[in-house]
Structure 1
Amino acid sequence: MASGTHKASGAFRTIGEVSADTGLPQHILRYWETRFPQLRPVVRAGNRRYYRPEDIALVRRIDGLLNRQGYTVRGVQQLLADTRAEGEAPSLMIALRAIRDELAHAIVRDEQG
């Protein structure tokens, strides 16, 4: 993780940690919460957000669709809704995508030195 602290893979992450890890600004993560009902981090007192591993996987998926594959927000909303309607096992697929994304990020970090 970019913040220098090492947490267990199943640990909750703060919005700052997710932002540093993904390179996405915190305001974008908050905006996505308003646009994608599937993205629901745990919100504690003082509006502090804690992202579960499946939330982080979804953030990475949304980021990939919007910023790498060229989808619009509306297109990603439809894709996520269609995926849910088709009966995809969300937790398993999210977990598998999270593993894939973590491996891809590790490879990029390793190649950068």
Structure 2
Amino acid sequence: MSDSGGHGGNYKIGQAAELLGVKPYVLRFWESEFPQIQPRRSSTGQRVYDDDSLHVVRRVKYLLYDEGLTIEGARKRLEEDDRAGVLAEVEAELRGIRAMLAGESPGEDASGGTPAEGGQLTLWNGPGGK
């Protein structure tokens, strides 16, 4: 389900703040503290939040308000989440490439199982490796 509610997924700062249950000045402050929050600017210079921006702000709000992290702690957690997401994407892509090269189905690896079944990904076994 989308938050767009007739806005096409684009919200001015006041609308975004109302949806998120925070004040506009809080969003402006979080923008200065979290590089992941980067709403685009309209032709008139107003901040415009899309659904992806709202997702990041919800995550920040959760980390600060629900988990009780400091700004620095929340910043580090977001950076860790970003790195973990990128690593997972790269790992999945490498698994697919390896499977293609080995003639296997993309969900399996050379050990005959999927990662969920305990299969391991070996990126390089050397020139004479299996």
Bucket of the pairwise TM-score, normalised by the shorter protein: 0.5 to 0.7
Partner of 1:106: none
Structure 2 stretches lacking a partner, 5+ long: 90-130
| 1:10-63 deviation per Cα after TM superposition (whole angstroms, max 9, x unaligned) | 521111111111110000100101111011001124430110101001111110
Partner of 1:7: 6
Q: Structure 2 residue aligned with 1:39, among 37, 40, 65?
A: 37
Secondary structure at 2:41 match in 1 = strand
Q: Structure 1 residue aligned with 2:17, among 16, 19, 44?
A: 19
Q: Which has the higher contact order (CA 8 A, sep 6+)?
A: 1
Secondary structure at 1:50 match in 2 = strand
2:77 equivalent to 1:83: no
Q: Post-superposition, which runs of at least 4 consecutive aligned residues in structure 1 deviate over 2 A?
A: 44-47
TM-score (norm 2): 0.59
Secondary structure at 1:16 match in 2 = helix
Structure 2 Cα separation of the partners of residues 20 and 80 of structure 1? 23
2:28 equivalent to 1:64: no
Secondary structure at 2:52 match in 1 = helix
| 1:51-95 deviation per Cα after TM superposition (whole angstroms, max 9, x unaligned) | 010100111111011011101100011011111222256xxxxxx
The amino acid that maps onto 1:16 is G
Structure 2 Cα separation of the partners of residues 15 and 53 of structure 1? 13
2:59 equivalent to 1:73: no
Partner of 1:50: 48
Alignment RMSD = 1.9
- 1:7 shift after superposition: 1.5
Percent of matched pairs sharing the same residue: 27
